[in-house]
């Protein structure tokens, strides 16, 4: 079956659709819009499904949703009767439609609740009563009845994770792992419920690795059970209403149950049922649930895995879940995603998160107007914020405030513009606006917590942060531009391992110069050698020759924001230089292992193309660093 546009026959499709109940309405609507591709051909859960989805999401507008009806495990000679659904959230239209109403309407409702004040008239009292009455739907309702997700129950020797079509995405992954599991936990005293999305490595038929990092709420709960010497109950829900999965990613304050967002958004309470082998509760209509316990005294090495940063993460010890039951609805769907270099589904899942939680962020930063976390900055690596500036130093004050707020504390690079800046989605106009307002005095270098997946810092979990104050008036230009060929000649004279140069935004106060080098030296030493050229340079980024194309700004931004630690890689003597090369022990005193890129396996890509399952060319592969 052709991936590029074809669908199976109506008869086959209708037979399949009668089996699908959890997402039936949503998927039927995608079919009506021709926004889903049904793939009947046998496709391997090892690399093949992941590679197809990884390429699909990089197509215009995020491509289509993909339903693989015949997943197989060729290595083990196994076929699955559970379809695999991929790229469900891979477009703005599909992701926004899971909310059932406009994203801005939800954001406005949250803002209205945060600004509630005592009513002064009878009409205001009625209005407030209505708002407060609707909040009753926020709280999930527990039922004693059996859930749809428990139509099939497997316990004891019947528990086999290998019966599920769990994917292996990258060639050097430590094994298959669950990518869209709603991991449900509860505090030791039962007062705090939590759901998060963490990768879950399959070790064998009844053990899963729990990659919850040190800063996550689930880690705090795990520590409670460890201190008490008790096993921790865990439930992993997969599928169901597509909104459940988004709720698992929602950055709510600690102690607030993320699935309450479902009731708030849908204006109807979420129905939850008790697990069969532990006391946790799960949404009643998810496709499948994996139940079990984690022994706080047992850690197992997890990884390596390619992750959403676009790099592999190292092998480290993490808790392990002993699976006690697998329950599912009849004819379930296995929902999965693919991680790697942008753009991936994170791009589209991140937008509603930005909009919906803007009012909450404003409670900490009242003068915040708007913000954006570009997906090619891998979200936590870059934020651009627009603020209402009121006094000197206001931007710096806001930087510190944001770096102390929840998940914003993991942001490495923060750029601030004022109320007169272009719209944050207008990339070209905004970039020029920023470059016209940057100088050496506008930079703030700090240090703080960083994401556990970040590799740039010499230490783990703590690293450099760079703030840029691009508020205020346009600066005066004093640069003496050289042609790119002349500049490259002068750079090559200073350092023979300089390979290429490329200049962009040359009509701004601070043109950007990208330099590609063969990494046989410390880039800080190169910046010192470039001192005589300072009148020709303003903002310089240095990358190495590992497939970086200097005219591909999208992927350069991904590379740069990933690879920089501001305390080590920033040069500010005469011009602003940033070292975004791969670091090592010899030249950079970097003693960790620098991670590899997440790269598709060429032979798998070629085979998929030969089977008409993939329609991409060499330019597509080069553009997205496939």
Q: At what angle do helices 346-364 and 394-402 cross, to 10 degrees?
A: 120
Residues 591, 527 contacting (CB under 8 angstroms): no
- Cβ of 163: how many Cβ atoms within 10 Å? 16
Which pairing describes strands 498-504 and 312-313: parallel, antiparallel, or unpaired?
unpaired
Max CA pair span of the chain: 79
Residues 263, 270 contacting (CB under 8 angstroms): yes
- Cβ of 331: how many Cβ atoms within 10 Å? 17
418 is annotated as an active-site residue: no
Alpha carbons 399 and 417: distance in angstroms, whole number: 12
559, containing H or E segment: helix 553-563
CB-count exposure of residue 88 (10 Å: 0-12, 13-18, 19+): buried
Residues 439, 590 contacting (CB under 8 angstroms): no
610, containing H or E segment: helix 602-610
Nearest Cα residue to 99 out of 339, 273, 349: 349
Alpha carbons 263 and 501: distance in angstroms, whole number: 53
Three-class DSSP category at 129: helix
Give the angle 177-182-188 at the CA atoms, nearest 5°. Answer: 110
Extract the tokens encoding 196. 């998060």
Q: What are phi and psi of 21, to 5 degrees?
A: -120, -35
Q: At what angle do helices 24-32 and 10-19 cross, to 10 degrees?
A: 160
Residues 6+ apart with CB under 8 A from 349: 89, 95, 246, 249
Residues 449, 461 contacting (CB under 8 angstroms): yes
Residues 27, 57 contacting (CB under 8 angstroms): no
Give the angle 337-175-196 at the CA atoms, nearest 5°. Answer: 45
Three-class DSSP category at 75: helix
Extract the tokens encoding 330. 């009849």
- Cβ of 291: how many Cβ atoms within 10 Å? 25
Instruction: Tell me the HSE value of 452 on the side-chain side, using a 13 A CA sphere.
Output: 12
DSSP strands (E only) in 74-172? 78-79, 84-86, 141-143, 152-155
Cis peptide before 304 (omega within 30 of 0): yes
Extract the tokens encoding 175. 């094994």
Nearest Cα residue to 8 out of 90, 66, 59: 66
Residues 147, 159 contacting (CB under 8 angstroms): no
Alpha carbons 272 and 395: distance in angstroms, whole number: 45
The one catalytic residue in 35, 307, 436, 588 is 307
Residues 46, 73 contacting (CB under 8 angstroms): yes
CB-count exposure of residue 617 (10 Å: 0-12, 13-18, 19+): exposed
Residues 209, 200 contacting (CB under 8 angstroms): yes
The catalytic residues are: 307
């Amino acid at each position: 079956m052709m991936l590029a546009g074809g669908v199976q026959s109506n008869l086959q499709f209708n037979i399949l659709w009668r089996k699908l109940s959890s997402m039936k309405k949503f998927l039927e609507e995608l079919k009506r819009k021709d926004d889903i591709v049904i793939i009947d051909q046998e496709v391997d859960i090892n690399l093949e499904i992941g590679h197809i989805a990884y390429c699909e999401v990089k197509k215009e507008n995020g491509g289509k949703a993909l339903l693989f009806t015949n997943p197989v495990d060729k290595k083990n000679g196994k076929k699955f009767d559970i379809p695999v659904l991929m790229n469900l959230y891979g477009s703005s239209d599909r992701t926004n439609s899971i909310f059932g109403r406009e994203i801005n309407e939800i954001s406005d409702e949250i803002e209205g609740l945060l600004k509630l004040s005592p009513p002064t008239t009878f009409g205001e009292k009625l209005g407030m009563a209505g708002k407060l009455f609707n909040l009753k739907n926020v709280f999930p309702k527990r039922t004693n009845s059996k859930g749809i997700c428990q139509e099939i129950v497997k316990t004891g020797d019947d528990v086999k994770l290998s019966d599920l079509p769990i994917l292996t995405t990258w060639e050097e992954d430590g094994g298959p792992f669950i990518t869209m599991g709603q991991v449900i936990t509860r505090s030791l005293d039962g007062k705090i419920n939590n759901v998060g999305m963490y990768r879950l490595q399959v070790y064998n038929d009844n053990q899963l690795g729990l990659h919850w990092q040190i800063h996550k709420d689930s880690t705090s709960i795990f520590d409670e059970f460890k201190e008490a010497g008790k096993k921790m109950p865990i439930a992993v829900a997969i599928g169901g209403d597509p909104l459940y999965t988004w709720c698992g990613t929602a950055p709510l304050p600690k102690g607030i149950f993320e699935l309450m967002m479902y009731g708030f958004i849908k204006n109807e309470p979420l129905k939850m049922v008790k697990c069969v082998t532990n006391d946790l509760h799960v949404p009643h209509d998810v496709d499948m649930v994996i139940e079990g316990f984690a022994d706080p005294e047992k850690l197992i090495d997890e990884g390596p895995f390619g992750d959403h940063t676009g790099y592999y993460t190292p092998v480290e010890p993490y808790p392990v879940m002993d699976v006690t039951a697998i329950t599912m609805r009849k004819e379930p769907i296995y929902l999965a995603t693919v991680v790697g270099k942008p753009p991936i589904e994170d791009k589209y899942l991140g937008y509603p998160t930005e909009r919906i939680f803007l009012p909450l962020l404003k409670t900490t930063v009242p003068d915040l107007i708007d913000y954006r976390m570009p997906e090619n900055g891998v979200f936590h690596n870059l934020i651009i914020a627009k603020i209402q500036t009121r006094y000197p130093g206001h931007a710096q004050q806001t930087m510190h405030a944001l770096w102390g707020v929840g998940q914003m504390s993991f942001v490495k690079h923060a750029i601030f513009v004022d109320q007169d800046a272009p719209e944050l989605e207008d990339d070209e106009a905004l970039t020029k606006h920023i470059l016209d307002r940057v100088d050496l005095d506008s930079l703030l270098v700090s240090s703080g917590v960083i994401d556990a997946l970040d590799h740039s810092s010499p230490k783990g979990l703590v690293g450099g942060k760079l703030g840029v104050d691009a508020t205020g008036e346009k600066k005066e230009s004093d640069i003496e531009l050289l042609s790119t060929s002349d500049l490259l000649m002068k750079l090559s004279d200073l350092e023979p391992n300089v390979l290429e140069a490329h200049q962009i935004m040359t009509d701004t106060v601070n043109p950007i110069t990208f330099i590609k080098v063969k990494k046989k030296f410390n880039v800080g030493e190169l910046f010192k050698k470039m001192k005589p050229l300072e009148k020709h340079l303003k903002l310089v980024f240095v990358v190495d020759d590992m497939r970086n194309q200097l005219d591909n700004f999208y992927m350069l931004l991904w590379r740069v924001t990933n690879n920089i630690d501001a305390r080590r890689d920033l040069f500010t003597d005469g011009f602003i230089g940033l070292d975004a090369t791969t670091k090592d022990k010899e030249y950079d005193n970097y003693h960790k292992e620098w991670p590899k890129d997440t790269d598709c396996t060429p032979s798998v890509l070629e085979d998929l193309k030969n089977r008409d399952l993939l329609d991409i060319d060499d330019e597509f592969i080069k553009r997205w660093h496939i």
